[in-house]
């Protein structure tokens, strides 16, 4: 008897997890005999929901809800970031963990998929409160994480500082310094050179590979970036450094446009000094309604914010040749179909933004060996991995006459399910 897919959520709103399940359904007909195991992809291996109580600076006690999800570990330990955001939900963390399974397999990393998060607005907490919430959360999920079990990393709302606290907390609890328990750490405690810009650089490498396939030059091309955090900032700088023109950028504060081009280095300097800590008010560009960002004509559109940004409501307005997904899940399945009909190439998140986890893998390997590479070596190997992964996916898309997303899922799902089949079921 075929097992029933567990949704964990009401049928009316499956959220990001529902989008992921639809993506799996789309790839299933292409899996051949491996489709026997496809329900493996539809069920998280384990879900941990934790209470995270802390003392605020004023002495009061507040409780936050945290998650850590292992989607699949057939190919190796769980790997995925920790997100601090006020809109974090179980559906989101489940989907993000599943996308990590697909992403790691698509680029050939020996990892499974995991993800974590706390429903909190980190902007409302002081540094000491953030440290307390991070250390408490780390202790609560300590039963799952470890350098050979589950390796967290930064995500939205977290960074090297939080990873340092996580590493220290885990190390104190196990009685030994364990740098390999997390990646994305500061260099001083076992972090890797090149990690900070790795995801954005990976977006650029994947975009360039796609552009080469259609004879599109980076130099002189127009780029629109949604999100000016770590990923969007680094991607914008990479395009700018290679002669592209950044014509519009947005973040949580608003959007700005300058058809003559925006210097992302200058914009980053402005953001660091502005009261809003955002792009709004940048004097060398004009304000743009955020809803009109995707309508700005360009050759490359980089959604590098949150999921479900390009939908069936706005996909028909997108004016670009290539969408390179810097964020996880920014394009819905319905929007994928619309973009395909319009001839827009979508480089899916599981390839486009895999630079971060690739360099996280490099960091993990370096921590185990206590031998660290130069930044030049890191970037050279990152570009090689990204190019090889894109080429494999592009070839499948051409051979099977499918989108790059479906091709990426064919490659990744086949690798995961082959490992599942070979390992068998125990007991």
How is the chain split into domains, by residue range? 17-24+34-177, 198-350
Q: Read off the pLDDT of residues 365-375 as tens digits, 9 standing for 90 and up.
A: 999 999 999 99
Q: Among candidates 145, 150, 120, which has minimal Cα distance to 132?
A: 120
What does the pLDDT average to over 275-302? 93
pLDDT confidence tier of residue 3, bands split at 50, 70 and 90: very low
What does the pLDDT average to over 125-129? 97
Give catalytic status of residue 115 as yes or no: yes
Instruction: Give the span between the Cα atoms of 167 and 189, in whole angstroms.
Output: 9
Strand, coil or helix: what is 244? Answer: coil
Strand, coil or helix: what is 188? Answer: helix
Instruction: Give the span between the Cα atoms of 392 and 251, in whole angstroms.
Output: 33
Widest CA span in the chain: 65
Q: Is the pLDDT of residue 2 over 70?
A: no
Same fold, 17-24+34-177 and 198-350: yes
Q: Read off the pLDDT of residues 28-54 as tens digits, 9 standing for 90 and up.
A: 999 999 999 999 999 999 999 999 999
Q: Read off the pLDDT of residues 187-238 as tens digits, 9 standing for 90 and up.
A: 999 999 999 899 999 999 999 999 999 999 999 999 999 999 989 999 999 9
Active-site option among 115, 185, 245, 321: 115
Q: Give the mean pLDDT of the chain.
A: 94
pLDDT confidence tier of residue 307, bands split at 50, 70 and 90: confident
Percent of the chain scored above 90 by pLDDT? 90
CATH number of 17-24+34-177: 3.40.50.10860
Q: Is the pLDDT of residue 9 over 60?
A: no
**In which element (H, E) is residue 54 found?**
strand 46-55
Q: Read off the pLDDT of residues 390-410 as tens digits, 9 standing for 90 and up.
A: 999 999 999 999 999 999 999
What does the pLDDT average to over 321-339? 93
What does the pLDDT average to over 82-102? 96
Instruction: Give the span between the Cα atoms of 266 and 67, in whole angstroms.
Output: 37
Total residue count of the chain as it appears in this document: 427
Q: How far is CA 40 from CA 7, 23, 243, 315, in A?
A: 13, 14, 44, 31
pLDDT at 154: 94
Q: Is the pLDDT of residue 351 over 90?
A: yes
pLDDT at 11: 34
The answer to whether 260 and 189 are in contact (CB under 8 A) is no
Q: And the tokens for 124?
A: 């409302």
Instruction: Give the span between the Cα atoms of 397 and 390, in whole angstroms.
Output: 10
What does the pLDDT average to over 59-86? 98
CATH number of 198-350: 3.40.50.720
pLDDT at 328: 87
3-state class percentages of the chain: helix first, strand second, coil last, to nearest 5: 50, 20, 35
């Amino acid at each position: 008897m075929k097992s029933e897919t567990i949704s964990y959520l009401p049928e009316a709103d499956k959220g990001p997890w529902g989008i992921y399940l639809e993506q799996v359904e789309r790839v299933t007909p292409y899996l051949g005999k491996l489709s026997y195991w496809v329900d493996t992809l539809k069920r998280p291996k384990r879900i941990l929901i934790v209470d995270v109580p802390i003392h605020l600076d004023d002495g009061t006690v507040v409780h936050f809800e945290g998650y850590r999800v292992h989607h699949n570990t057939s190919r190796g330990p769980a790997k995925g970031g920790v997100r601090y955001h006020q809109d974090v939900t179980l559906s989101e963390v489940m989907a993000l963990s599943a996308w990590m399974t697909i992403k790691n397999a698509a680029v050939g990393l020996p990892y499974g998929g995991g993800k974590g998060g706390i429903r909190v607005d980190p902007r409302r907490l002081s540094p000491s409160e953030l440290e307390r919430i991070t250390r408490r959360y780390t202790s609560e999920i300590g039963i799952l994480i470890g350098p050979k079990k589950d390796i967290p990393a930064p995500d939205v709302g977290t960074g090297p500082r939080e990873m340092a606290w996580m590493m220290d907390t885990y190390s104190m609890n196990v009685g030994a310094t364990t740098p390999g328990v997390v990646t994305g750490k500061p260099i001083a405690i076992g972090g890797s050179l090149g990690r900070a810009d790795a995801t954005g650089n990976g977006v650029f490498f994947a975009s360039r590979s796609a552009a080469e396939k259609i004879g599109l030059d980076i130099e002189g091309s127009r780029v629109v970036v949604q999100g000016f955090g770590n990923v969007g900032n680094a991607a914008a700088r990479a395009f700018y450094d290679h002669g592209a023109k950044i014509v519009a950028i947005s973040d949580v504060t608003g959007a700005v446009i300058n058809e003559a081009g925006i210097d992302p280095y200058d914009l980053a300097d402005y953001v660091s000094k502005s009261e809003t800590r955002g792009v709004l008010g940048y004097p060398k560009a004009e304000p743009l309604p955020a809803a009109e960002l995707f309508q700005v004509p360009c050759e490359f559109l980089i959604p590098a914010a949150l999921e479900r940004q390009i939908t069936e409501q706005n996909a028909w307005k997108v004016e670009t040749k290539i969408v390179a997904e810097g964020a996880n899940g920014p394009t819905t399945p319905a929007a994928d179909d619309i973009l395909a009909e319009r001839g827009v190439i979508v480089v899916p998140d599981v390839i486009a933004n895999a630079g971060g986890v690739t360099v996280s893998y490099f960091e993990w390997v370096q921590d185990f060996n206590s031998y660290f590479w130069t930044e030049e070596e890191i970037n050279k190997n990152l570009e090689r991995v990204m190019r090889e992964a894109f080429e494999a996916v592009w070839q499948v898309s051409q051979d099977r006459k499918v989108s790059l997303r479906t091709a990426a899922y064919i490659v990744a799902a086949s690798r995961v399910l082959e490992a599942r089949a070979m390992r068998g079921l125990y007991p």
